[in-house]
Amino acid sequence: MDSRTALYGVIGNPIRHSLSPKIHNAAFQKLSINAAYLAFQVDKEFLGLAFEAMRALQIKGLNITLPHKEDAINFVDEVPTDLDRCIGAINTVVNRDGRLLGYNTDVPGFLGALREELQFNPETKSILVLGAGGAARGVVFALAHAGADKIYIFNRTIERAHGLQGYLKTHFPETEVKILHSPEHAKDEKIHLLVNATSCGMRAEDPAAFDLQFLKKEAAVYDLVYSPTETLLLKKAREQGRRHANGLGMLAGQAAISFGLWTGQKEGVRQIMLEALRQ
Ligand code: ATR
């Protein structure tokens, strides 16, 4: 590092568990880019100041993580893509000569992970999404955007599932969105993919996020959780011989797309990041 080192980072709270510094710094090093990536713990009340600091210190790029992905939209100058505006959450900010541009790379990162890890294309497919929080919102928007025919939502708190259904219907009226009231109702449906977008599975004592016996045997399973690398849900999927993958692919995918927006470097970045994560 020297007086020309460009600064990047991630802001969130909590942040000390974040793997983003590890994977971005691995890519900077491997590609010989003079830059550093740090993690900043930022409270909600200081979010605006963090964006002012980004301008003042000419921080080139930031990732935004929980709980700031929605509020962050209020502090950028522009959200260039329609899809990111309708999702209403950003995870990446590009500082283009003092003008702050907001993007959501979780969406293409998720779709890329389905493609790379499961060889799965959501077009014309029926997909069951578990959860109705911020992560589930990104997932259902990505699936609808990619042309899924039918999206089922199952959530512990049914009112939140209805909220997400309504929100999606306004933006994608052509996509059929159904609420699943109980896991066994999945038995009557032809579901091609299950996506766990809840935090169930992150704690050692968590049960499997869904009972896979209610899904057809061809249905694949994608779990956004990456720590532990094999949740109980994924263990069952593996034992049943289903195609399955954890959230590491999405983590690397969204990071590589952010990296591309900041540096213009795209080739091989996802792979460098995946290797850093697997170490
Ligand atoms: P995020 O932005 O990461 O999605 P969130 O908005 O807090 O975080 O949402 C967490 C999601 O995980 C919710 O769908 C939550 O279900 P509720 O809406 O019923 O709270 C779900 N979730 C968390 N722990 C869970 C558990 N042990 N079993 C089932 N669902 C769980």
Per-residue pLDDT of 62-99, as tens digits, reads: 999 999 999 999 999 999 999 999 999 999 999 999 99
| CA proximity to 31, closest of 6, 63, 52 | 6
Which residue's alpha carbon is nearest to atom 21 within ligand 1? 198
Tell me, using a 6 A CB cutoff, whether residue 161 lines ligand 1.
no
Q: Is the pLDDT of residue 39 over 90?
A: yes
> Please, what are the domains in the chain?
6-104+249-278 (3.40.50.10860), 121-242 (3.40.50.720)
Ligand 1 atom index nearest CA of 207: 27
Which residue's alpha carbon is nearest to atom 6 within ligand 1? 133
The partner residues of 150 in beta bridges, in order of sequence, read: 126, 176
**Alpha-carbon radius of gyration of the chain:** 19
Give how far the C-alpha of residue 211 lies from the chain's centroid of Cα atoms, to the nearest Å. Answer: 23
Give the residue-averaged pLDDT of 120-143: 96
Tell me, using a 6 A CB cutoff, whether residue 157 lines ligand 1.
yes
pLDDT on residue 279:
86
pLDDT on residue 54:
98
Ligand 1 pocket test, candidate residues 110, 156, 181, most atoms within 8 A of CB: 156
Give the residue-averaged pLDDT of 12-16: 95
Tell me, using a 6 A CB cutoff, whether residue 131 lines ligand 1.
yes
pLDDT tens for residues 207-264? 999 999 999 999 999 999 999 999 999 999 999 999 999 999 999 999 999 999 999 9
Q: Is the pLDDT of residue 195 over 90?
A: yes
93: left (phi over 0), alpha (psi -120 to 50) or beta: beta
Q: Residue 126 — very low, low, confident or very high, per pLDDT cuts 50/70/90?
A: very high
Give me the percent of the chain exceeding a pLDDT of 90: 98
